[in-house]
């Protein structure tokens, strides 16, 4: 779901950038939040051992921080069976549990819309197949539909019979708590913003979440860049020239975008490197970057490449930032 949605959304925003909101958003609604970034209890997180996030999810006591194994329910266990335990651990400050609960809540709350969207898309695909005789495209369409059907079937089984508590927080609140607590997989996913419980089609439904995202995501993104996260390199590069959800994580800076792409290319697999070459060439032409601009980007990319996390196989984001999400990333 995330991989397909991420590719489609990124392509759409790169080609047709648009604003979903005015640039100057109002202060968040009172109630769940005070001013942007202020937690419900009024105390901001301090240090790595206490992370009372802006969501009110409390002090971090993650077993992984003291050398204990991370134990989460098996992947795709029906949520109704593990909800109470996950929630208790998340509210208690365990970032892995908060990450997993965020994933499960988003998967279950978005399921009806995804099923409806899948049906509409299947109709379009079938209409296309009636006129498209290319066997490769037909196989691609049919393979995509089969993947979607399989994913929705798994999600439906996992979400069957689940009823959240009436006062339940939203998925993005748990993910932000985990990100602020230093859980890097959550930080990366919060920055990417694709499946974190924020409603892109009906933004007013999660307005406080969008306002908080705008306030929190830039700092989390910069921290993840310093930590060498390839996924965040890619998203910040994209945001630096095209924006994301009508906002930018960073100031518009095409030279830095090229530098981030070049850094990724220096550590990329051949397939991803070829994709990056095309992206860099198109971006350079569109932004009319001069030879001096490109030299500056190359110089900047050297340090950025040195910060990237090592990968024996090479970095490969050619199939999307988060292919085939199932919640297992929360165990890291």
The pLDDT, as a whole number, for residue 54 is 38
Burial class of residue 52 in the structure, from the number of CB atoms within 10 Å of its CB (0-12 exposed, 13-18 middle, 19+ buried): buried
Q: Work out the percent of the chain whose per-residue pLDDT is above 90.
A: 47
pLDDT tens-digit readout, 37-80: 333 332 223 233 333 333 444 434 444 443 445 689 999 999 99
Here the tokens at position 264 are 């990724």
pLDDT tops 80 at residue 27: no
Among 1-15, 55-69, 90-104, 315-329, the range scoring the smallest mean pLDDT is 1-15
Distance CA 123, CA 195 (A): 24
- Rounded to an integer, what is the distance from CA 141 to the centroid of its chain? 25
Task: For residue 209, give the nearest of 48, 21, 16 by alpha carbon.
Answer: 21
| Average pLDDT of every residue of the chain | 78
Q: What is the pLDDT of residue 324?
A: 64
Per-residue tokens: 296: 């500056």
Longest alpha-carbon distance in the chain: 61
Q: Tokens 């991989």 — which residue? A: 3
pLDDT in tens, 237-249: 998 998 665 666 7
> How far, in whole angstroms, is CA 94 from its chain's centroid?
20
Q: How confident is the model at residue 312 (pLDDT cuts 50, 70, 90)?
A: confident
Residue 72: burial class (beta carbons within 10 Å; 0-12, 13-18, 19+): buried
pLDDT tier, 140 (very low <50, low <70, confident <90, very high otherwise):
confident
Which tokens is 312 given? 């024996």
The alpha-helical segments, DSSP class H, found in the chain are 2-15, 79-91, 95-109, 111-131, 135-159, 171-180, 184-192, 207-226, 230-242, 254-266, 270-286, 291-307
Q: Are 163 and 80 in contact (CB under 8 A)?
A: yes
Continuous segment of H or E residues that includes residue 254:
helix 254-266
Residue 284 CA to its chain's centroid (Å): 26
Q: How does pLDDT run across 152-173, given as a tens digit for each residue?
A: 999 999 999 999 998 888 899 9
């Amino acid at each position: 779901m995330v991989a397909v949605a991420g590719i489609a959304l990124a392509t759409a925003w790169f080609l047709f950038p648009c604003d979903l909101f005015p640039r100057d958003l109002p202060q968040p609604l009172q109630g769940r939040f005070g001013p942007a970034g202020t937690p419900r209890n009024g105390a901001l997180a301090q240090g790595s051992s206490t992370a009372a996030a802006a969501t009110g999810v409390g002090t971090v006591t993650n077993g992984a921080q003291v050398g204990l194994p991370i134990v989460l329910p098996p992947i795709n266990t029906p949520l109704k069976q593990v909800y109470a335990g996950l929630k208790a651990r998340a509210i208690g400050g365990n970032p892995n549990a908060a990450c997993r609960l965020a994933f499960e809540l988003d998967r279950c709350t978005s399921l009806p819309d995804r099923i409806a969207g899948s049906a509409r898309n299947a109709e379009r695909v079938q209409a296309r197949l009636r006129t498209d005789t290319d066997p490769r495209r037909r196989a691609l369409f049919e393979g995509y539909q089969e993947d979607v059907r399989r994913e929705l079937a798994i999600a439906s089984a996992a979400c069957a019979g689940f009823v959240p508590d009436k006062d339940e927080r939203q998925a993005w609140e748990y993910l932000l708590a985990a990100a602020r607590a230093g859980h890097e997989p959550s930080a990366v996913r919060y920055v990417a913003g694709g499946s974190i419980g924020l409603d892109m089609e009906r933004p007013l439904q999660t307005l406080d979440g969008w306002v908080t995202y705008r306030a929190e995501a830039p700092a989390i993104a910069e921290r993840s860049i310093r930590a060498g996260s390839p996924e965040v390199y890619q998203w910040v590069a994209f945001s630096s020239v095209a924006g994301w959800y009508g906002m930018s994580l960073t100031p518009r800076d095409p030279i830095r975008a090229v530098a981030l792409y070049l850094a990724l290319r220096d550590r990329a697999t051949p397939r991803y490197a070829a994709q990056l070459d095309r992206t860099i060439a198109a971006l350079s032409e569109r932004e009319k970057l001069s030879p001096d601009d490109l030299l500056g980007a190359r110089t900047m990319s050297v340090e950025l490449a040195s910060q990237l996390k090592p990968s024996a196989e090479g970095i490969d984001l050619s199939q999307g930032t988060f292919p085939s999400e199932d919640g297992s990333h929360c165990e890291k």
